[in-house]
Structure 1
Amino acid sequence: MKEIIYIQAGSISNYVGTHFWNAQETYFTYEEGDDPYVNHDVSFREGQTLKGEPTFCPRLLLFDRKSNFGALGRGMYGEEESENAVLSQWNGAVDELRQPAVPKSKYQTCLESGDDVSQEDSKDIRYWSDYSHVSYHPRTPQRLPDVADYENTEGDWELSRDAFTKYNESTDLMEDAFRFFVEECDNIQGLQIMNDTSTFGGFTHSFLSAFRDEFTKLPSWTFSFLSDSIPVSLNVDDPRSIMKALNDALCLQGLNGLSTMTIPFYSPLLWEKGSWLSEIDLKDSLFQSASIISTHVETITLPLRLKNSQHTMTNLSSALTTRGNQRIGHLAGTFPVQENVRDLETKLYDLTLNTSKLSKPDQCSGCVDVSRGFSEPLKLKHSDWRGGWRQGAIIVESPAILPPTSFPRYFKSGTTPSSLSALTTLTTTSRTASLFGQYAKLADNCTKQYAHVIQQMGLEMDDVKELRDTLHVLEDEYRGDETNSDDEDELGEDEE
């Protein structure tokens, strides 16, 4: 058994993470004789509720602001904490001011009552906890204090780092909650992180720094959700937009040095419409877009949890970084897949560069493909197609996706199929050079025109100059021998 410890930090990450864990629970089998194809112990720990009932809980630390938790219970495995639990420790007079409790969602109410659970509509979702189906260990929810209404810390790198320092000092996070999950593991294989850069970028950087102080060689994969401010379409009259984009650049620079593999995502607000969404009626809903991201994150990491799989975070990371020390990966995919190889050619969408224009001649260090629910003919077509494009690609075939009851009802067919197919591919590629190049230009412009933004973020001018130079070095490293700058131009055209 090779356990993974999971970290989720931020609202977007927890929307994606809730779908991720609901999908994990569909692998549990309850009929005698059924043999699951996933090793549950990789991601779940076994325990007991306060009533002595056996339960499985994710090996997870979940960070967010208190107001974003919704009706998620504070007690053991989701049971509500007693109202008098804290007051019983105080003998003095009490003037109690209690805010009304957040009512449970329709989905949660049906789960608790044992009624038939129907699929959620986007309009019914207020918080990521509204559609959560799993039980959490008491150490999993990590509630950070809310910020005042007049404060806007989004995109503020230094305040985000300071939040980690204060929270770690007040809760002894690393020595208590994190170490609890580590010490339960027999043979930990690594850390999987999802984080929002705009609100938890500096926080995650500080967490990973503390992690690396003790676990210098343990692999970590970070799925990082960038803000909706990108350099090529930046509103230069809005300091907040500049701040968020510069914060993204700082996050990419920091993660490149701390995480074994980092997979950035552009905001779903910036997604292109096109053939890759031909089967889905996608609304402007984080609940819906998070399910698509989660499907691909869950699919590409599935080999780490499959029974009898030889794949680990260590060997897959090595396979992806065969050409130098390239730690930034591109995640692309298509979902759902029809029985047509053209779906693989025309509907593969790069969620890292936010484009469906995947040019084949780019230099590629490594490639991992994971397919879900492919028929035998499609498996052969996929193997031939991929073999002609990426020599030496790792291809993992796995069963179809069984969507949980919480899955969005966004299919144009009008119903959610009982099983779904998907293809997800993770690559390290020269196309990443354009990503670093755009942020390097932003950092350079900040040193010349936006000194007030740098000051507002609590940064020194030398910090931003160093960031600019580091990003240019990374741009050159990822571009390699490729002299064609079409990728960079293409990124600008796509984003505009």
Structure 2
Amino acid sequence: MREVVTVQLGGFANYVGSHFWNFQDEALGADEDGLVGLDMNVLYRVGETRQGIGTYTPRLLAFDLRGSLGAVRAAGSLYERSPQFESSAVATWNGQTVTHRHEPIPKNDFLKSLDEESEGWSQPSVSGSGFQLTNVADTTHSGNSVPSEETRESSFVQSLDDSVEYWTDYLKAHLHPRSVYELPNTFHGLTPFDNYSSGQGFFKEQEQLEEVENRLRFFVEECDHLQGFQFMVDNSGGFAAVAADFLEAVGDEYNRTPKLLFSLRPPWIPPKVSHRDAIVASLHESVSLARLSSLSNLLVPAGLQQLASSKFARHLCVNDSKLFCTSAVYATALNTITLPFRMEVSGPTATSQERGFGSSDMSNMVRLVSCSQQKKVALLEAAVPGPALPVAGTPGSFDLASLSSLTPDVDHSYTGTQAAEALVIQGARLPGGGGSASVAQVLECTFTGKPAVRRGALSLCQLSVSPNPLPIPVPFPSIFGPYVSARGDILPNPIASTAGRGGLDVLSIPIAARVTSTDSLLPYVKGRLTSFRKLGLSRASVGGGVLEDWGFAKEEAQDLAEGLGNLASAYSDRRFDSATDSD
């Protein structure tokens, strides 16, 4: 067993996580036929209620503000309510209090349908969630036909695009009572949580620290062979500090366990703010990068300022203002790039190869991409849907140039050294709607590809291939454009005039994703170093006062600058001395 424990911190990270676990729910249903070549026990744990009913829940610890779960209880619905599983309320205040009370939030139609599906569920199978709202494939489907909505599950799914307000509104997975930790003395929509300082100090109280440590230990201690932690962190506000404090608190106990961290943030339009607010936002970016990169083995930033207008979204219809939509995009990339961790080990036979190639342990992937910890920040690129293979009989290779960055502030024209990459190709298609490509066909097109399809000199590459495309769950936003077919082929003519197509229209899609330790990341890291030097190192400046208010003494600020300088030096031949400001 090669278990992975997932930790989600913050609103947007949990939005991404809900889509991620919905993908796993689809894989669980397909895995009952033994065809997907995945070991779902990597991410899931087997349990049992007090009534002896078997459960199968994600090995997950999710942090958020109180009141951020909508109509869903933090303790979940699999087990009866138990006070020991609720987040503790530590009494630290003896003065006057203000109580904010509101009526319980009603469940939306989708959640009600899940309850109806699970009624009478007395002995769920350990290999699934107990219910599936999967889309039904039309076996006679051709490239330009649209599966009839009459064969689909309920029409309420269409309303999710405009009605989702919480990340639990579309989550299909049952969560364990220990999974959700709501930060004490906070409340969603009332507690300011928009910068680094707002998330500091939540684990200073010993009781709170012990509670989160015990929750994490609960999932870790039942693992046979823990291959690592995958973190999804909302870096748009205070949860960057919560994540750093949490990693620091548990670091000694799990210092040898690999930690792969995805630093996420939704698209945003910079508002008109005061000079001080702009400084606070800039320092937030620098401090979070310095601390999170030092406490993880590999940090992968993902969060374009404008996703809808980016090159990445050329086949998508994304509304940047809707977290339900934008989080789905990032979840598809994260699901694919982490696929090797749960792929079954390939055997020597053709049959086993057709189930997948290139399974990998998290430790091996992290060590390779980070160049043995020399480059601790990696670029995330993906193509959704992924490109088709070249036409048979014509020279060419798998179109890696179609992959676009989800990491902001990178210089794609940079021609420096690209030290290493982990490339995952999932469910590649044959050209012209010719069906699914085999693993052998993908390997031939990839390994014989011309060097020109890669930027810079590539020294190491880990390739993983799965013949199975990504199944699209029914509760998925309508983000696919009219040129995307039901099987993820890119059509020459639009299939419909609608603004977007979702889980009712698109059954599955091919995806290609990679993480690379390319020197194109130098502008991303150097920009935050330069900003920190100019704004934060002088105590006479506004930024210096901000850092002091955040609890960083002058020596600690110098340490942060030195850490950023070391990061920048790893992507350049030049040494970035933290004591200078010659940029």
* TM-score, normalised with respect to structure 1: 0.85
Match of 2:69 in 1: 69
Match of 2:316 in 1: 280
Match for residue 124 of structure 1 among 145, 163, 185:
163
CA distance in structure 1 between the partners assigned to 2:302 and 2:368 by the alignment: 21
2:438 corresponds to 1:401: no
- The amino acid of 2:523's aligned partner reads S
- The amino acid of 1:348's aligned partner reads L
2:504 corresponds to 1:411: no
Match of 2:405 in 1: 350
Q: Which moved more, 1:387-396 or 1:300-309?
A: 387-396
Q: Deviations over 1:189-240 (max 9, x none)?
A: 111111123221121112112222112211110111258789xx89783423
Deviation at 1:150, TM superposition (A): 7.2
Match of 2:547 in 1: 454
Equivalent position SS for 2:421: strand
* TM-score, normalised with respect to structure 2: 0.73
Deviation at 1:353, TM superposition (A): 2.7
Match for residue 108 of structure 1 among 105, 108, 111:
111
Q: How does 1:36-435 map to 2 (within 5 A)?
A: 36-49=36-49, 51-75=51-75, 77-78=77-78, 81=81, 99-114=102-117, 116-118=153-155, 119-120=157-158, 121-147=160-186, 152-157=192-197, 159-166=198-205, 169-170=207-208, 172-197=210-235, 198-226=237-265, 237-266=274-303, 268-271=304-307, 273-284=309-320, 285-308=322-345, 310-322=359-371, 325-339=374-388, 344=399, 347-353=402-408, 358-359=412-413, 361-375=415-429, 376=437, 380-385=444-449, 388=452, 389=454, 390-398=458-466, 399-413=468-482, 414=498, 415=501, 416-435=505-524
- The amino acid of 2:370's aligned partner reads T
Equivalent position SS for 2:425: strand
Percent of matched pairs sharing the same residue: 24
Distance 1:283 1:78, change over 3 A: farther
Q: Deviations over 1:324-365 (max 9, x none)?
A: 61111111111012426699455422112356x634733112
Gaps of 5+ in 1: 87-95, 484-496
CA distance in structure 1 between the partners assigned to 2:479 and 2:398 by the alignment: 19
Match of 1:469 in 2: 562
Alpha-carbon contact 1:236-1:242 (below 8 Å) kept: no
Distance 1:373 1:475, change over 3 A: same
Match for residue 442 of structure 1 among 531, 543, 547:
531
Q: Between Structure 1 and Structure 2, which shows a larger proportion of helix residues? A: 1
Alpha-carbon contact 1:74-1:80 (below 8 Å) kept: no
Distance 1:385 1:407, change over 3 A: farther
Deviation at 1:36, TM superposition (A): 4.2
CA distance in structure 2 between the partners assigned to 1:138 and 1:351 by the alignment: 33
- The amino acid of 1:404's aligned partner reads P
Q: Deviations over 1:3-55 (max 9, x none)?
A: 11110010000000000111011111379754441111111001124553322
Distance 1:183 1:110, change over 3 A: same
Gaps of 5+ in 2: 87-98, 118-132, 134-152, 347-358, 391-396, 430-436, 483-497, 577-583
CA distance in structure 2 between the partners assigned to 1:31 and 1:432 by the alignment: 38
Q: Deviations over 1:361-416 (max 9, x none)?
A: 33112111101111335654344447553354211111200011111122222543
Equivalent position SS for 2:315: coil
- The amino acid of 1:26's aligned partner reads E
Bigger radius of gyration = 2
CA distance in structure 1 between the partners assigned to 2:267 and 2:287 by the alignment: 15
Q: Which moved more, 1:454-463 or 1:43-52?
A: 454-463
- Give the aligned length: 467
RMSD between superposed Cα atoms in Å: 3.2
CA distance in structure 2 between the partners assigned to 1:122 and 1:425 by the alignment: 29
Match of 2:27 in 1: 27
Deviation at 1:482, TM superposition (A): 11
